[in-house]
Structure formats: C-alpha cells, structure tokens
Structure 1
Amino acid sequence: MNAFLRSCVFCWALLCSWCIQAAEPAVAVYYGSKASLSELGLYDIAVVEPDHGYDPVRFRQQSPGSELYAYASVAEVLPDRAYFRKIPAEWKLARNGAWRSIVIDQTPAQWPAFFADEVIAPLWDKGFRGFFLDTLDSYRLAANFDEAAQQEGLVRVIDTLHQRFPGIRLILNRGFEIVPRVRDKIQMVAAESLYRGWDANLKRYVDIPAKDREWLLQQLQAIRERDKLPVLAIDYVAPHDRDATRDTARRIAQLGIIPWVSDADLQTLGIGSVETVARRVLVLYNGADDPALNYSSAHRFLEMPINYMGYIVDYADVRSPLPADVVRDRYAGVVSWFGGAIPDARFKDVRAWLTRQMQQGMPVLMMDAPGIPLDRTLMTTLGVRSMEAAPAFPLKKAEQSPLMGFEAEPADPAHDYSGWLLTPQMLQQSRQLLSFDDAKGQRFVSAAITPWGGFAMSPYVVADIPGTEQSRWVVDPFKLLKQALRLPDFPVPDVTTENGRRLLMAHVDGDGFPSRAEAPGAPFAGEMLRREILERYRIPHTISVIEAEVSPQGLYPRWADQLEGIARRIFAMPNVEIASHSYSHPYLWDRTVSHGLFAESKEVDLNLNIPGYQMDLRREIEGSVDYIRRRLAPEGKPVKVFLWTGDTAPSAEALAISDAAGLLNMNGGDTSITRSNPSLTEVKSWGIRKGGHLQIYAPVTNENIYTNLWHGPFYGFERVIETFEMTDAPRRLKAVDIYYHSYSASKQASLKALHKAYGWAMSHRLHPVYASEYIRKVADFYEFAIGREGDAWRLRGPGQLRTLRLPPGMGVPVVDAGSGIAGYVKGVDGYYLHLVNGAARVKMREEAAAAAALPYLVDANARLGEWQPQPDGGLRLTLEGHVPLELRMYLPPGCSLSSASNANPISAVPASDRSAIRSFRSAHNRAQLQAQCRAL
C-alpha cells in the first residue's frame, strides 16, 4: 500500500473513531485588535492577544457561556514584552530568527514562579481565567539542550500555574510529549499546520506534505483516545482567499478536529466550526464632492439600503491613503461613489488599490462615475475595451433588466452619454442591466452585474426630478447591492421592532418652550405640551429644553420662574425621560465644514442671541446638561439624552464630548417620505459614524419639514402618518417616531395635527419605548455579530437589540428550550425573531413543516425579562413595558397561560376561532406569567 493510500485509510479511521465524539467547543485564535466583543462572543473560546485591551470581565457579562483566553508564550519572549528586561541573561537559550524572539530555558528552578508572577498574574488580575500556552517546543531551536530536562521544566510551569491560580484553564500548543503528565490540568491541545501552513523563512503559504500531516494526525489521535482531550488544528491560508479558508476548515472538521483557519499572523477572523458573517461594506467617496460626509450621495442614498440588509458602512475618503486591511473576514464588499473625477494626485493610488481588491476576489460595485482614468491593468481586470469611445447616435435600447426602473424609468441617453464598451468575454460573463446599441452596432453598457462585482453609471443610478428638490432611484439599490456584492441572506439585526411589534417613540426638541399658545390666557407652549399631550398620551416621551430659553440667565429672565416650574413638572412625570437640546441652539455644529459651506453666510455663527457668548461645544453639551441636572431634574432622575440642534450634523469632536459625558445622542437624518415624494431617497440610514463615534438619527423627521420650515400650513405634521405607513411596507424601514418641537403646542392647527399623529399610533399594535432605549438598540446594530455554524446560526450582541429579521426564503425559526429564542412572528418582509437576551443559536425549518411543539411568544408591547423553559414543556416568563400589557402567545394543544402572581393578573381576549395563537391583556405594565402544558 503506497503512502497516499495509507494516509487515506488512516484519515478514514480517524473520522470513524471521532465522529461519535460529543460536540466540541467552537474556538477562535485571533491576535488582531479590530474584532468586537460580540464577534468574539460567537465562539465558546476566543484566544486573544491580551495587550490589545480586550476586557474579559465585560466579555463574560455580555457573552455568558463564552470565554476569552489570553495568549501567553512560555518558551519564547519578544523584546517588546514588559517583562523581557527582568529575564536573566543565562536563561536565554537561543534566538528564533524567523519571529525575532528569544527562546527561554525551562530548567532554572526560579523560572516557573517567574512565569506565574510576571506573565500570568497580571492577566489574571485583569480577569482572564483561560490561557493559550504557546511555544512549548521552542527549546528545540537551541544548538544544545537536554530534552528531558526541558520537558520537566514545562511540567513544573503548568503545575505551578495550577497551584497559584485555582480554576485556571489551559490550552497547550503542541507539547505532545508532556500531555500524559498534565492531562488532568489542561483543557485542550492545539497544533498548527495540518493541511496548510506558513513558511516563515520563505514568507509564503504552503501545503503540508502528506507525511508531515500523517505524523501530526497520529499525535492528535493519541491525545483524543489516550488522554480524552479535545484537539484544535490551526492552519494558515492567505486572508483574501476565503474559499480556501472555508475548504480547509471543512476538511479539518471532517476529521473530528476543532478547526481554526486564518492568516499567518492571526490578524483576521478566520473560519472554524463557526464562520463570522462579514457585515461591513467599505464605501469610497471623494470628500471634495460635498462639504461634509453627511451630504455625500453614498450616505444620503445608499447607506439606508445597506443598513436594511444588515450591513455596516465604513467610509474612506480617496483624498487620504486607502486602508490596507480590507479583508473578507470583515468586509463583504467595496462600493465607490464619485460625483466626478478624483484629485489627480490620488488617482494612481486609488486605481492600484481597486485593481488589487478585484484581483484578490473582493466584490466591487462602482456607482455613478468611475472617477479615475483606467490604465491597461484595470481595464483588463474590468473587462473594458474603452470608456472614451463616443457612441454614434441614434442609440437604441438593447437590454433593460427588471432591476432598472425602480422608482423612475431610465431616461433616453443625452448627447453627452457615455457607457462602457466591454470585451466580448466580459459581455458573455456579465448580466447587462441597461445597455444601448449605437448606429454602428456597438454595445454600450450603463449598468451590469460582472464577475468582479458590478457597475451602474450616471444618469441611471439616482435621477433628479426637474423643477423640484426630489430624487428617484432608477436602479433597485437592494437588488443591485445584493447581486453585485454577492451578499448572502442571514438573520438581520433589526432596530425597528421588538418582540414582534414595531417600536413607538415620541421625542420633543425644546425650541419654542416659552412661546405663547393660541389658547385662553396665552399659556406658554411648554404648559400646553404638558396639559394637552403628556397628560393625555401616557406613552414614553423624551422631552428636552434649551437652557437659554428657560434659565434665569437666559433670554427671558422675567419668565424664568414660570418656565423652570413647567419644566420641573414635566420632568417629574413618570412617562418622561429628560434630554437637553443645548445651551444656545447652534445651527451649525461642525465649524470646519460650516465655514466652507456657508463662507458668506451668517448661519456659521447662528444661535440664540446671547450677549457676549461665543459658541463653545462643551458649554452647549456638558454645560446645558449640568444646568438641567442642577435646576430642573428631580433628584435621582438622570439626564440621559442629548438632542442635536440646527443642521443636526455634529463634528466628531462634538460626538466625542457627548460620549465622554455619558450621554446618548440623537437627531438628524430627516426621513420624510410621503405620497407627494414617494421615494426611498427620502429614507435615511440608522446613523453616521465620525472619528469612531456614532450619531443616531431620529427614525423620522420633525414637523418643521411638513410645515415648510414652520411657515405653514401648520397642520402639515399630520402628513407624518404617511411617513409612518410608507416606512412599514413593503419593507419595515423605520420605527414610529412622533418627533416635533415645543412650539407645535402653541397653535391650534399644529396641536390638532399632533392629536392625529398620536391617534394613529394609539390605534396600531406598537411597542412603546423611550428614545434612550431606541438609541441603545441602534448602537447595538453596529456591534451585533452573526455566525454560521453548519445548519444553524449563532447570534451575539450587547443585549439591547433583541430582534432579528429573517429575509424571505430562509424558513421558519425553530424554538426550543436552549435556543435563546422566545418566539417569532411573520411580517411583510420576513419573520421577526425575538431573542431572550443578546445571545442565541437558531435553526430553521421549512414553512410547511409541522407546527411548533412548545409555547412561544408571538408578539408583545413589553420587553422580556425572565424566560425559563420548564422540563414539562411549559415555561415561566416576565414581561415589563411602559403601558398596559398586551401580548399574543402560541399555545400548542394542552397548553395554557396564566399569571404567576396575583398582583398583576392577565385576562384572555375572547377569540372567535380555535387558533393556537391567543391574545392576553393586563391593566398593569408588568406581569409574571407561566405556560403550563399537560400531556395529551
């Protein structure tokens, strides 16, 4: 039998002997610094470089059942380690030139205590309880060594760690010879390079020879069978080759070995038994096209569809060097959207960068204009013959895909039309979305899905409506993104819904609090707001004031006592959370951008006219919050939220000040889709990130937009109902947000419009929340992680966002006792999945499969607290909201729902059918419930 056949037989024997083993933990080995705690929480064990600042205590709280392990090198040390200087020269046994490290002699009697004190103890104090011990075999790099003595020293190190740190958990990287002596003190054994490895001398990835693999498999089999320990194989593949990474992990897993396949430096989130979904899309833009990122086309138009599909946008301004670490572990694709040519000094670098991304298999979507002249290399990569050739008119439409004409039909080509002439091979391999034939028979392509991604060129992306400020999508952005970037379906973190019901919130900017109302006695608008709205609609409200409008040192000192009294009464209400709307209501928050955009305008310095005051970010944010805390807020009631004023486009500096003050921030976005402007270009993203800080946009805009900047009609805000309806179907794009200013309570027409908006909300099955709750959910969207584990999905988030939407075609979620899933409900755009907390593992079943066997939550207007499945198939649950409780439960035959406490009883809503979905109500906003099931 030849070596290859012996190897195959041996591998099959391993597969047969290991396939009956219990499921092993999912492990990641990641020495980078960019993965979030949620991403690492997808794994049962995540080994990290401890110097990168990961907090194991916070991780343990956020991801119960998962654990961070700290990397610790036993027999090698890098000179930049803090303890390197303390190592005696006589302990330095050799040098590892490939990694520029020093090999440490394991035989000195003091070495185990030194390693425990200097390496492990500081990490233990930080909260690490698990450790990945590396370089156990490095003594073999020395010219002379006593192998038995070195191994004895390693055993003493492990014994010392167990004596010093009770409960410590250890993973050994190799050290096969000592495993039988320490197997009761270690959790797992790892080995590198089973199928693919890294040659540190040649600096390249290599295939492992069959004889080396066979030897390593024998060692791993012995550990599994003799020592009853799980084993982990760490292989190395080029980071851009995701297919090879996936295939190598699959081959390792088929042997029953825990797989982890990553790049040679372990700087990327590789693939193991769990594969993290890459949720980022990098968008290239030219900062010279617009005065600020907020106004760029990519942000205004494209980020919302990207967010809706579950992805996060990272922006890169082509005027600066482009990021070098755009890899498939984190990025699903790259989009460029340039309004015109990028700076001449940058186009060569941008061109080379784009070529490299495409050649490495990163999907690229080019929007609107290429922005760069093409060289031969990029033209070959794109499959373009020419971009300069002028078509011979007249042009005749050749192909139009259903993706085109989404909101507006493609216009006939203008005299300056320019499309792409593709090579015959690229034409054959691509799917034309829109193309034209000229009088000479040449095919010009304006939009296509290509092997490298796709493109859609102006004017067939977004069209302006002549004579208006409106725009329309020509191409379907959802389908274009999905098809060009090859975006897979996965459970999408959803910020619009919780427990199956669309979120409802109400928040008020403080403008006009001192205005006199059109009512007997001319009360202040703030008082009318309290009487007419807050007392009547007992849903959660987030209410703000502008300090300079109500304080004794502000603009109206003679009314300050009355105004502050009204504010105190409002802030004391149980359905109100407190917010600040600044000190002087600045119109522009980013003065760097502002002076470029409004260089000749007084709006640069526009705010309330306070004598002697000049705009100061800290005074506006921290100062106004401090004033409210000292003078207006009831004792013990915090000021949670800061609501941006004016153009609602804060700078990164302003966002940093807000974050440092512990405030949640919101406003901006201006979603205002209506029947007279029925375009998704009017629906904005969840927020925008600047300098590592996140601004949360209000779900919909305020009455100022519907009333022509408060010039009338003053009843215009009733049209917000159109926005509520059009952002719920055919896709649920936004929560319901009744957002307005205090001055809306000053006019009878605007007050009636408010009553209509509230009446609409009260008549629908919604889930009321405070703005702070919504803000935290959106923040979680950017942190949430999804991983694929065979036929299941692992879901991890910080815990505030608890809804995932399953795109149509993914099937129906399976609810079982250990899934972390409380239930689901079908919506217009897929099933909405309810998480018990921030972690879950879910499988799908076919739509036509048998009904669920266990009770589950269909929907509720309250948040889940306790959710405890019982051994008999029943469960105990707690719901707590802000209004009288409403819920629906799926109750299989033999199951019933009742109150677990007499204090907060529930009553069943009479049903006209015998459906297994039953409705319940309570006069209270909290209930402890139990579902009991009897055997039939």
Structure 2
Amino acid sequence: MKQWILFSGLVGLFFLFALCGHNAQAALQSIAFHYGADAPLDELHAFDVAVVEPDHGFDPVAYRTASSELFAYVSVGEINPSKSYANLVSADWKLGGNAIWGTGILDQSSPAWRDFFVEQIMAPLWTRGYRGFFLDTLDSYRLGGAKTDLAAQQAGLITLIQSLHRRFPGIRLIANRGFELMPDLAGEIEAVAAESLFRGWNASKGVYFEVPTQSREWLLAQLNEVKSRYGIPVIAIDYVSPNARGLARDTAAKIRESGFVPWVTDGGVSTLGVGKVEVLPRHILIVYDGRDGPEMHFRSPHRYVEMILNYFGYVADYVDASGALPAPDRGRYAGIVAWFDGPLKTTESSGRYERWLRARVGEGWRIALFNELGFVPDNDTLALLGLALAPNPSGRLVIDKRAAGVGYESEPFPQVRSFVALRLRPGAGESWLSLRDAAGQKFDGIGLTAWGGFAWRSFSVDEYAEDLSRWVVNPWVFLSQALSLEDRPVPDTTSDAGRRMLFAHMDGDGFPSRAEFTGSPYGAQVMLDEILKRYPMVPHTISVIEGELSPQGLYPQDSAALEGIARKMFELPNVEIASHTYSHPYVWSLFEANEPSREVGEDYSLAIPNYTPSFEREIIGSIDYIRTRLAPAGKPVRVMLWSGDCVLNVKAMRVMAAAKLFNMNGGDTLISRSNPSITNISPLGAWLDEYFQVYAPITNENIYTNLWRGPFYGFQRVTETFEMTGSPRRIKPIDIYFHTYSATKPAALGALRKVYDWALARSVRPVFASEFISIADSFNHVVLARDLSDGSVLVRNAGELRSMRLPLSLGEPRLISSSAIAGWNEGPDGRYLVLSAADARLHFDKVGGVETAVYLSNSNARVLSWDRNGRSVHAEIKGNVPIEFDLSNALGCAVTANKRAITGSPEGKLLRFRVPDYATTLNVCCGAC
C-alpha cells in the first residue's frame, strides 16, 4: 500500500457540503478503510467515512446513511495495468514506472491526462453515486527522474483538484500527504493523512516494525504543521498484525493522544482495524461437515447452537470444512464453533482442517468444539490443544467428577461405543466432566481450556430419537465461557418499546373447508367473524393460496364466495395481506420448474390441472393475483408465508428477493412442559447464500394437534411455549400462528380464542408480521462499536430494530449523556432499552446513580423520535392500536398528546397514559418549557 488519506465528515445535512479549515477539523470523528473485495460493509457503518476500492462493485448509494459514507479510492499519480482503463492511457502521459508496484507514473503537467482522469476515471464513479474520494499517490511524480519539473507537476495537481470541484459540485476530497500542495489546496481538501507514525509494514519483507524515532519525529512535525497552520484534520494510519489486537488498541490510543485521528490495520489493508472506535464483533464462524444435512435447516449446529448465539446477540456464519477455510477477521468474528460427528470424509480435507484449526489456536482464537475433533490428531496437535490420547475405555464408564454446568437437561450417560477417548493434560484446563473406566483410566468429556472448550459426543446434545434431544452441558454457560463472550448490549428481536411483541399470522390452508357449525359455513367465514373481527387489537398477517381460491383453481364452483370472504378480510385495518403461494409446495427442495414428476412418494404441491411447477408462478404470480383481484386499492401485498416443509432453496429465495417481499415461516419452535428442551427452540432464521429466511417465532396448531389428527383443542398449549420462550430468558416474541382450518372445528376455535385472550392479558407491543420480519432481518446488520475515547457503545445501522437488551452487569443507561435512547423497561433477563433511531450512543453507570431524566418505561407503539431538552421531552409515537405508554420521572410534569392535555394514572414510580389515537405527538413539560 502507498500513502493514504481519509476523512470523516459530518453527519446529517453536513454530508452535503465540502468543508475546509477549522470547521472540517471540528467535524472529524472516525475513519476506516478496507481494500478487500469482501469489505464488511455492515461493520464499516460504525465509522463516519469508510474508504473502499470501488472496482469491487460496492454500491455507495445503498450503503449511505445519515452517519456513514463510502469514499472511493482513486490513484492520481500512478496507473495500475490491471485497471480497465489502463490501455487507454497514452504513453505520452507517463513519466516512467514504479518498479516496486509495477505501475506507471503519470505526468501531472499534461492537460490531456488531467482531462482523462476527470472524465474517464472520476465521472463514472460520480455517476455510480460516490461523493467522496481518497486521492492516492499525489507525490508519485517525485519518482519521475532528475529531469522532472517538480513545480510543473505540483501546479498540475493543483489545477486537477480545483477542476474536480468545478466539474462535480459538492465533491469531498481526501489527499494523500501532498504536504507541499496545502498552501494552495487548504480550502479544497478535507483531511490529510500519513501512514506509519508509530508502527509500519515492510511489504517487501512481509514484516511489521516499530517506526524509528527520527522518522516519527519528522512525520509528527509535518502533520502538526498541516493541523495547526492550515486547520486541516490529520489522520495517522499505522500497521499491526491482525492477531495483535491489544497492540492495535495501544497504537490507536497513542495516535489519538498525539492529536490525530487513528486508524490501525494490517499490512494488506484487508481486515477491520481499530480507530477512534472499535467494532465489537457480532459474528461467530461455525465450521461443520457438509454431510451433516444437505440443507442448512437440518445441520446440527444450526438446530442446537445458533439459537444460543442469537440470544447472546451473534450472527452465525457457516463454512464447510471439506472445502476452503477462511482466515477469519478479528474485527468481525468473536470466536469459532466446530461441530463434527466423526472424521471428515477424505484424508485431504481432514488434514487441511487440522492445519487450519492449529493455525487458529496459535493465533489465539477462542474455539468451542462439539462432539468430535473431525480428524485423527497427531501428537503436535494434541499438545497444542492441551489434550492427550487415552486408551479405549475398558468395562463400564463412571463419572469421577462433574461441574455444575453438567446435567442441564439430561444426565450424562457415558457410552463406550461412541466414546471420545481424550483427556486434558495436567494444567491445560478445567475439566467439567471427568470419567474413569474399570481399569482406572481417566477421560475428560467436557472441559474449558486456554483456547476455548470442548464437549464431546454424548455430553453435548444427547439425541434420544428423532425430534427428541436434550442438552447435557449447559450451553448458555459453556458457550459464554469457552468463547469468552463479554457482557454487552444485545440487539433484541423479541421486544419493541420495552414490551414483548405480539402478532398473529395465518397460513391459508383450508380456506374452502366447511366448518362444523350450523349451516356448514366456510371455515374462512368463521375465521373472519370469530377471530379477525373479534380481536381488532391484534395485528394479523393473513394469507391465501391462489390455487384454492381462484376461478382457475381447484374449486371454481366456490371461487366467487371464497374470493368475497378474502376481500372482506383484507379490508380490515388489523389485517395485512400475504400470499401462501399458488399451489402450496410441500417439499421445496424437490419443487423445480419443469420437473413435474410425482415419483418421490409425496406430491410436490396441490394437484392443480395443467400446472408446470414454477417458483416465479408460486411467488410473483400469486402476489399479482392477490393484488389485482383481492386486495383493496392502495393496500400493499408484500409478505410471502412459506408453505409445506419451509425448507427453502436459493432459487426460491432469489425470486422472493427480486420481488422485494418480506418472507417468513419454518423453524418449528415447540417447547412445552412435556417436552421442555431448548433444543426445540429454533434460531432466528436461516442464511441461504446471501438470502435470509426468517423463521416463524413459534410453530402452528398443526403440530400441537398431532398433524390435525387431534386433540383439536391442543393449540391451547401454545401458551406454554409463549411462557417458556419468555422466561427466564426472553427468546421469542408472541406469535399466534395458525391455519384457516382452525375455524372449522369448535374445539380448535375455542382453543384459538383462549390463546388470544391469554396474549391480550399481557403487556404487549402489537405489531404486524412484516414489522417483526424487518426487525429480524435488521438483527443481522446491526453494528456495535466501542468509542475508545470515552468507553461509550455506538449502535449503528440498526435498520428497523429498536430494542437492545442490557445485561444487568452493565449498569443503568445514562440518558442525558447518551443519544437516541427513549428509555428502558426491566425484563426477565436484563433491561430492555428503547431506541428512538437506528443510530444511538449508549453510556452506562455501573454505580447506579439516580436518574432524573424523564424516560419511557414502555409502550404499545413504536417511538419514532424522542428529543430531550433538559427534563422536558418532545416525541413522536405511532402504533397499530390506540396508544398506551408509561413514563418514569414524570411526576409533576405537564403532558400533552396531539396538543391535548392528558393525565396519567400513578402506579409506583410510573405514570400510565392511554390515548385513543394510533399516532401521537407527545410533549412532556417539566418546569419551564
């Protein structure tokens, strides 16, 4: 890499203007740059400006937020032959070549080169949406040889940069060093940076080094002159090994203490470094055997581990150990999980994975190993892991010692036939489960080590039978300690505005069925009258199957009546419209266009005459049918509720994404008193390449009624699932999920009413399914970062997610010094923080001082804004039902909603308010306003 310059701009409207002098210096906040093709765009949102290599195809418009902007790297002084426009650069425009980088050095005094640069290099980037640019190699003309006219080169650069401002009004430019240009360009350049102030990278030798004192002092003098004489912000970029995270933090601190904006990264500029802020990694790399289920949905770590990681706030990224294995980025990954049920298939893949694991252990990664190693280890690997081979057990195995974290849902039952014969070496770790055989040989089945921990076969998840499994080790404690997961704010998908979310959604199956009531009405009509109209306080997402309703479907004689019922449903204000496909595919992995074979033992879908299976027809076609024939004018149809086994493939997800639809279903969370294992709680969803399938939080009545064979009142037991996913840990929102046919039997309809009544007796935040889906998707993209100057935590890129769970160990949030926090509510497992924007700053007080600011304890509506002025508040709140909200510290304050004075009901330290509006402008005046 050459010499780099970055700039962090203002937020909000200031992004529209180029800055100069002391104003730019005041605006400078945080900076990052990443030149890899896999730049972590989500994480880069933690920084006000991120410089990337535009040739990798990033979309600056899609990336742009009020608080973060992509800048494009552009080389001004040299041309790389790999560039698409390199063969258009005339030889007459070159002064010579840079042998180190294999590039051509450009003649800045050439008007033809300057015109080419503006129109052929900068203009296309501007058209793509880039508004900020990092101009590199500004001083490469010095390599042109003794005959180079330096003054002419400098004048050419000044002319070029000034022309950019004329050609692209509002352009934001960052310069590479160019110290000699500053007298003429101080008003044109936003920042100046230089690399290797304290630590550097020698690319030719491939080593990191400490910068000699003399070199550092010279550079300090240059940078201080830029800062003091011209009032231009200065960025210092240093280089440290990506595995020396502590050294990177220390180096960033030294830069910050010197008065400059820091960025410390690796020599290849291809990992997420440390700056004024440091990203708190939210990803866990999960390594698995590709033979463990062809689809993501059936893989053991997805079924058992991912939900635990989601609860802790982490996103799981999967990699098949039989293929290429990545070197994970410490700025993005918090640890590694590996799950194997035996050695990998080939010696080659087994050996490759063993070497990869050893490298990660050597780099200091935290790793949790489940079931087996995945390879037959050699002595060096065992020594590195602190393990030793033990003889195969002889006779009966007994437990010698066990920790409190063993026996979580099932007692450990050592089985000689599937035993992993390993033990910890003395002093290598802490055994959680020690065993011995009849000959006195000792083994360790669960343990924590310096590099993480292990839970071998039979002592992780014990699978008794299909759909019957139990955790032996306590996964909450084991994963937390093995991966050294720190207590920090957790992006939360269960709650909003301090309350647990509630919604209902209906798959359209059985819409034409007749109900067992007087007159044999359609079940859909009963559902309309007895549920949708009866419970207007519950938002519903209601779907239909086109093939059951349309005149060209299976029941043309009933079509007019069925479509009429659907139209009445969709007119209700508490109903949003969804599709449940055209023909209700049963097995999505087998449902392929032009493959109508029925030889798999089960039909692909409803047997609609003359229909050739097509994902486009199922998804886009059914949406168009509903939109044109059933939906009221102006009411959108934007939700796809998956059908059948809900085991989607990439092709179906691609069609869905192209149509810009929300998607949900699958997961089958069913935990109950009779089957109380958390192995029955699904993760948030499943990644299928770049597409995310959102799981329904709770499974439907078909499962509770033994696949609709009875008892038909069985769905009333879903309240057990709601309770067990709500406490002692709140893992899921309340989702009442059912089919149309639940209205066809008195027992089923009665059970459904009991479930609704149970839910509405709780303090809930009613949402539509599309709102939950948006929040679930946003979970994957939220960025947390720690401001290293004051210890606060930044929340960025939160999308529609507005709830953060705070472990009690963090203390109480400080509202006055924080930003975009409306308040918080106590929950079963921490404090549920209410954000008023997608970007926030969180300060905490572990001492627990007295909070005097007025804050929102909870509401049944979303907080759109929450602006403080001393102890007074101006806020916007909007929900799906008449609004309720509770305020803390508001005693003695005057409160108005939509300019009407309202009075709260005191309850303890709270004031409880109720207004008839679905949206309100709230003003709280405490003292002089």
Q: TM-score range by the shorter chain?
A: over 0.9
User: 1:503-902, aligned counterparts within 5 Å?
Assistant: 503-538=501-536, 539-591=538-590, 601-603=600-602, 605-790=603-788, 791-816=791-816, 819-851=819-851, 853-870=852-869, 872-892=870-890, 894-902=892-900
* Residue 447 (str. 1) matches residue 449 (str. 2): no
User: 1:80-91, aligned counterparts within 5 Å?
Assistant: 80-91=82-93
Query: How many angstroms does 1:620 deviate by?
Result: 1.5
CA shift digits 1:244-268 (9 cap, x unpaired): 3223222222222211111223221
Query: In 2, Cα distance between the equivalents of 1:609 and 1:155?
Result: 72
Equivalent in the alignment of 1:919: 912
User: 1:317-356, aligned counterparts within 5 Å?
Assistant: 317-322=320-325, 324-345=326-347, 346-356=349-359
1:190 to 190, 193, 196: 193
Query: In 2, Cα distance between the equivalents of 1:590 and 1:501?
Result: 37
**Which residue identity does 1:459 align to in structure 2?**
S
Equivalent in the alignment of 2:489: 491
Asked if 1 retains the 8 angstrom alpha-carbon contact of 2:200 and 2:239, the reply is yes
**Which residue identity does 1:58 align to in structure 2?**
A
Distance 1:201 1:817, change over 3 A: closer
Query: In 1, Cα distance between the equivalents of 2:811 and 2:113?
Result: 57
Query: How many angstroms does 1:508 deviate by?
Result: 0.2
Equivalent in the alignment of 2:62: 58
CA RMSD of superposed structures (Å):
2.3
Equivalent in the alignment of 1:96: 98
CA shift digits 1:576-621 (9 cap, x unpaired): 1111111111110012999xxx998412x34222233343222221
Query: How many angstroms does 1:832 deviate by?
Result: 1.1
2:903 to 899, 908, 919: 908
2:380 to 377, 381, 387: 377
Equivalent in the alignment of 1:933: 926
Query: In 2, Cα distance between the equivalents of 1:820 and 1:891?
Result: 18
CA shift digits 1:305-334 (9 cap, x unpaired): 011111111111223222x24221211122
Query: How many angstroms does 1:498 deviate by?
Result: 0.6
SS at match of 2:906: coil
Asked if 2 retains the 8 angstrom alpha-carbon contact of 1:464 and 1:470, the reply is yes
Query: In 1, Cα distance between the equivalents of 2:849 and 2:293?
Result: 52
SS at match of 1:185: coil
Query: In 1, Cα distance between the equivalents of 2:414 and 2:440?
Result: 17
User: 1:195-206, aligned counterparts within 5 Å?
Assistant: 195-206=198-209
SS at match of 1:54: coil
Q: Structure 2-normalised TM-score?
A: 0.93
Query: In 1, Cα distance between the equivalents of 2:342 and 2:364?
Result: 26
Asked if 1 retains the 8 angstrom alpha-carbon contact of 2:31 and 2:263, the reply is yes
- Say which is worse superposed, 86-95 or 270-279, in terms of deviation: 86-95
SS at match of 1:397: strand
Equivalent in the alignment of 1:109: 111
Distance 1:385 1:299, change over 3 A: same
Asked if 1 retains the 8 angstrom alpha-carbon contact of 2:39 and 2:270, the reply is no
Task: Indicate the percent of aligned positions where both proteins have the same amino acid.
Answer: 45
Query: In 2, Cα distance between the equivalents of 1:311 and 1:535?
Result: 39
Query: In 1, Cα distance between the equivalents of 2:535 and 2:768?
Result: 14
SS at match of 2:382: helix
Distance 1:416 1:929, change over 3 A: closer
- Say which is worse superposed, 30-39 or 310-319, in terms of deviation: 30-39
Distance 1:378 1:825, change over 3 A: same
CA shift digits 1:877-919 (9 cap, x unpaired): 11111111100112356533212434xx7x4342255x2x211
Structure 2 residue runs without a partner (length 5+): 1-21
Asked if 1 retains the 8 angstrom alpha-carbon contact of 2:811 and 2:848, the reply is no
1:34 to 38, 41, 62: 38
* Residue 420 (str. 1) matches residue 415 (str. 2): no
User: 1:383-394, aligned counterparts within 5 Å?
Assistant: 383-386=386-389, 389-393=391-395
SS at match of 2:810: coil
Distance 1:634 1:750, change over 3 A: same
**Which residue identity does 1:911 align to in structure 2?**
P
CA shift digits 1:53-91 (9 cap, x unpaired): 33333333xx31333222121111212323323322122
Asked if 1 retains the 8 angstrom alpha-carbon contact of 2:292 and 2:298, the reply is no
Asked if 1 retains the 8 angstrom alpha-carbon contact of 2:234 and 2:260, the reply is yes
CA shift digits 1:473-519 (9 cap, x unpaired): 11111221121112222211111111101110100000111111111
SS at match of 2:285: strand
Query: In 2, Cα distance between the equivalents of 1:708 and 1:912?
Result: 44
Distance 1:200 1:859, change over 3 A: same
Equivalent in the alignment of 1:9: none
Query: How many angstroms does 1:374 deviate by?
Result: 0.8
* Residue 460 (str. 1) matches residue 459 (str. 2): yes
Asked if 2 retains the 8 angstrom alpha-carbon contact of 1:112 and 1:160, the reply is no
SS at match of 1:218: helix
**Which residue identity does 2:442 align to in structure 1?**
R
CA shift digits 1:24-56 (9 cap, x unpaired): 411111222434544222112222222333333
Asked if 2 retains the 8 angstrom alpha-carbon contact of 1:894 and 1:935, the reply is no
Query: How many angstroms does 1:634 deviate by?
Result: 1.6
Query: How many angstroms does 1:413 deviate by?
Result: 5.0
Query: In 2, Cα distance between the equivalents of 1:124 and 1:453?
Result: 48
CA shift digits 1:80-107 (9 cap, x unpaired): 3233233221221222233322211212
Equivalent in the alignment of 1:260: 263
Query: In 2, Cα distance between the equivalents of 1:408 and 1:625?
Result: 46
- Say which is worse superposed, 440-449 or 219-228, in terms of deviation: 440-449
Equivalent in the alignment of 1:307: 310
SS at match of 1:590: helix
Equivalent in the alignment of 1:15: none
Distance 1:225 1:699, change over 3 A: same
Query: In 1, Cα distance between the equivalents of 2:671 and 2:290?
Result: 27
Asked if 1 retains the 8 angstrom alpha-carbon contact of 2:96 and 2:104, the reply is yes
Q: Structure 1-normalised TM-score?
A: 0.92
Distance 1:452 1:92, change over 3 A: same
Equivalent in the alignment of 2:9: none
Equivalent in the alignment of 2:130: 128
Asked if 2 retains the 8 angstrom alpha-carbon contact of 1:862 and 1:879, the reply is yes
SS at match of 2:249: helix
Structure 1 residue runs without a partner (length 5+): 1-17
**Which residue identity does 1:494 align to in structure 2?**
D
* Residue 142 (str. 1) matches residue 144 (str. 2): yes
Distance 1:152 1:684, change over 3 A: same
Query: In 2, Cα distance between the equivalents of 1:670 and 1:719?
Result: 15
Query: In 2, Cα distance between the equivalents of 1:864 and 1:316?
Result: 39
Query: How many angstroms does 1:867 deviate by?
Result: 2.7
Query: How many angstroms does 1:363 deviate by?
Result: 1.9
Distance 1:436 1:856, change over 3 A: same
Distance 1:380 1:95, change over 3 A: farther
Query: How many angstroms does 1:142 deviate by?
Result: 2.6
* Residue 47 (str. 1) matches residue 51 (str. 2): yes
Equivalent in the alignment of 1:410: 412
Query: How many angstroms does 1:396 deviate by?
Result: 4.7
**Which residue identity does 2:373 align to in structure 1?**
P
Query: In 2, Cα distance between the equivalents of 1:206 and 1:817?
Result: 39
SS at match of 1:223: helix
Query: In 2, Cα distance between the equivalents of 1:848 and 1:335?
Result: 36
Query: How many angstroms does 1:414 deviate by?
Result: 4.0
Query: In 2, Cα distance between the equivalents of 1:835 and 1:662?
Result: 26
Equivalent in the alignment of 2:183: 180
Query: In 1, Cα distance between the equivalents of 2:784 and 2:752?
Result: 40
Query: In 2, Cα distance between the equivalents of 1:592 and 1:728?
Result: 36
Query: In 2, Cα distance between the equivalents of 1:844 and 1:798?
Result: 20
